[in-house]
Amino acid sequence: MIDRELLRKEPDFVQRKLRERGYDIDVGVFLELDRRRREIIKELDGLRRERKERSREYGRLKAQGKEAEDLREQTRKIGERIKTLEEELREVEARLHDFMLSLPNIPHGSVPVGSDEGDNLEVRRWGEPRKFDFDPLPHWELGSRLGLFDFPRAAKIVGARFAMSYGPLAAMERALVAFMIDLHTSKGYLEVLPPFIAHRDSLIGTGNLPKFEQELFKIEGRPWYLIPTAEVPLTNIYRDEILEEDSLPIKLVSYTPCFRAEAGAAGKDTKGLIRLHQFNKVELMIYSKPEDSYDILEELTSDAEEVLRRLELPYRVVALCTGDLGFSAAKTYDIEVWMPSYGRYVEISSCSNFEAFQARRARLKFRRKGSRKTEFLHTLNGSGLAVGRTVAAIMENYQNPDGTITVPEALRPYMGGMTLIGGR
């Protein structure tokens, strides 16, 4: 959520920055509602004082046996006005709250201005894409030929855009989760196994609701949703709490399955493991002091990159432009792995600084040492990594002419020393 004080003091700045994101917001709606809210509160405060004084005077007159019906009637009318204003205040505050929830985060000054992914800025590359001396197969064909994928039976169980893996490929996904968790915990992240279901308040806290409800799977008859990412439970661990300065930064890592409706994504990257309704992911989450968060964003991105470096998979890092930023992000780096079947780099991680946007929505605060005042902290998160996409990248980049797949050296200890998948 954007800072209301910033909207009051610099409405033109906020409107301009949001237009850079492609949001044509009428900030005047906020200013009018905010003005009326303050008028009502001022009038209510005065009327409550007046009612209290008149009630006291009425009691004094009655105790003296004097007539006080006019005073009683005046007090009653004041009470009716208070009731009317309280109802209007509730309505105005609800409209204000809904308006604030509809606003995306303000882009950081370092974010390149642009309209879509074509305006994203490449920051760096690592590794060289492999030059094949044979025609490489896309991972969905390779896995099917080896009997490791079963999309038709997965569809029979639940429907399209779900996958089922067998044998060593299922073992590879499990191995990747363990490998990623071990790598990140060695860098100071605390492993958390959270709930895979969240209620509405938690999803409002991260910015998934109310705007993106169509992207979520809601559990019928319950006030619950399947989580689209571990970011949701991890961000809400300390909701409505005040942390102490000495506890920051807090670095968390979590494995969870993720569930996404992917509304509007028909026909886009729907073959294989790239865009599924259910997939596994290892997530990194950091709570930070505001002054440290952009240095931490660089560290977080490097920690996610380290997974690909260890697996020796070529990748690049791009800074997302204003028009391609996620709703809650102030700045995002996408890490894209090389996929031979696409002939291009494909996103495998997004690392974002949300600044205080999520903290305001989830009421996440901290207190500096020696101070009674509390402040909103900054939240950051990134995939470390999307596991299914990592499997797909390994299959395509490590495939051999005979149709086998070489297991990356970093994974072999997690797969019982297995060096090759497929073959006789």
* Helix (H) or strand (E) run with residue 344 in it: strand 344-353
Q: Which residues pair with 244 in a beta bridge?
A: 367
Per-residue burial over 7-36, b if 16 or more Cβ lie within 10 Å, else e, is beeeeeebbebbebbeeebebeebeebbeb
Which one-letter DSSP state was computed for residue 187? T
Nearest alpha-carbon partner for 359 in 383, 371, 375, 381: 375
Which residues, 6 or more positions from 261, have their beta carbon under 8 angstroms from its beta carbon?
214, 215, 216, 217, 277
**One-letter-per-residue 3-state SS of 141-169:** HHHHHCCCECHHHHHHHCCCCCCCECHHH
- Work out the angle at residue 269's Cα, subtended by the Cα atoms of residues 265 and 275, and round it to the nearest 5 degrees: 70
Q: Is the peptide bond before 210 cis (omega within 30 degrees of 0)?
A: yes
- Give me the active site residues, please: 260, 275, 347, 350, 389
* Burial classification of residue 323, based on how many CB atoms lie within 10 Å of its CB (0-12 exposed, 13-18 middle, 19 or more buried): buried
Query: What are the Cα distances from residue 66, in Å, to 52, 100, 244?
Result: 19, 53, 59
Q: In terms of C-beta distances under 8 Å and separation of at least 24 residues, what long-range contacts does 4-7 make, across chains too?
A: 4/30, 4/34, 4/100, 6/106, 7/31, 7/34
